[in-house]
Amino acid sequence: MKTEKEIRQKLEYYRGILGVIQAKRTRTRSSGFGRGTRPFPEDALHLLTAGANVDEVTTDFPPAEQEFIRQWFGSLSASALQLITALAGILGWVLDEAEAVEGVTPHQAK
């Protein structure tokens, strides 16, 4: 079983990933994600944000396959974003429930 501190760290990590994904979708410059205890792999982050830069990714494929690749990357990045959002939501809910049941406040837990 994870401690409250470990859950909070993981929640912050997922929220950080979501923040970077959202930022990368609004700008094309890569800045990497290295906050927290574990860096998020740049290659994986590039795949997650490929929806914003799909033309960059598809140029290596034959023209006949580019539309399929665009759809595939769009589905992949949307699914990954939903998964990370769900994980962050679940961890947030767990912490909220712990605070409600145990009377723990965010200031006491840190």
- For 109, the enclosing helix (H) or strand (E) is helix 106-109
**In which residue are the tokens 């965010």 written?**
106
Amino acid in the structure at residue 35:
R
Helix 63-102, helix 4-26: angle, nearest 10: 150
* pLDDT, position 90: 93
pTM for this entry: 0.59
pLDDT tens, 12-30?
988 888 887 777 666 544 4
> Is the predicted pLDDT of residue 72 greater than 50, yes or no?
yes
pLDDT tens, 22-52?
776 665 444 444 444 455 666 666 666 655 5
